[in-house]
Structure 1
Amino acid sequence: MIGSVNTVARRPDGSLVGDNVDGQGYLDGLAKDGIDVRSRRVLQFGAGGAGRAVAFSLASAGVGELVIRNRNMGRAVALAQEVIRAYPECVVSASDRGVEEDVREANFIVNTTSQGMGVEDKLLFDYSMLAPHQIVSDIIMVPEMTPLLKAAKDAGCVIALGKRMTEAQYPLVSTLLGIDALPPAPCH
């Protein structure tokens, strides 16, 4: 459904089966932190590969509304339309209005872009706008505390680290491969 595969297993008969464990890993990581996305107004930054997986998973988990922002508006619109087709009960839109309005209205914010990995990266928005009632998540693993997550923590927000998504993917990959649970790899 999301158009990508990141884990492939060879079956005993020689056939291959593939899946993408990003979206379910993201949701499972949130659940381990006690975070429920149901009925939330989610602002998602990014419509790339991982962003696609996260968007479909958020819709499947019952978010109240999903607003997608992306540098390439066409990509955000296309992703929103695909998610709506798969989950017509979910309110999904691509936003090109002021980011300030989107941030103020969101009670859950997720970054699925690479913004925050580099020291010189621009901020996604003015992080001083974050409010304590918001949950802020980043799928970036390194650095563990991205500028977005640091600002969110300082603002009193609940935060979700990117490494939680990766940690939650291990059992999913193990199941797909039909092997005993893989030990978590160290996140450097």
Structure 2
Amino acid sequence: MYQLIEGRLERVLRSILRAMRRDIGCADAGSQGSSLMQIIATIFVFVWMGLVVVGVIGVIRGRVLWARIGSRRAAGWVLGSALPVFILIGVVAPKQDSTQSVPAPLVAAPAPALSTTTAAAAPPPINNPVPVPEVNTPAPVLPTVEVWATVPARSQPSTAVTPGAFCSDAGATGYTKSGTLMVCETSATDSRLRWRHA
């Protein structure tokens, strides 16, 4: 039984190889096997992508009726079966040989300029160099700018304070809406800072 399947598989592969030779025009036997493996790897890539897409849709929606996937569990199995196919792609895909010739670049390099004259001789070295005079330039003077900024007093809140409300800075002063002076302090009965009458 296995010999029958193996014989049929061999005939199918030979017919594919003949069709490739006729359609693609492969020159040598090495490239024929390599291109056949490339075709098989490409087919596996499409199968893998289909499994992943259908599996993800099934996991999200819960079912894919046209693919006969009725539950998320079945969709998970479909998605899980994509992993062996992905591994199979790596096994079947033809390896790139580092000894293969690299194709020439399509951009042509500029041709060297042709000259009919001979190259001029280098000038003789100078034995007496001319000293360069040193120029003393004063350092630039940067203008000073005085900046006056008003810093708001930390003890004066920008808004009116409420008597009895909590405060954070001990000793800070503030005014109520009616203009009464308040101080941020603790009392004999309360250890927390509050706005109290001054």
Q: TM-score range, shorter-chain basis?
A: under 0.3
When the two structures are superposed, what TM-score results if normalisation uses the length of structure 1? 0.21
- Identify the structure with the greater strand proportion: 1
Q: For the pair shown, which has the larger CA radius of gyration, 1 or 2?
A: 2
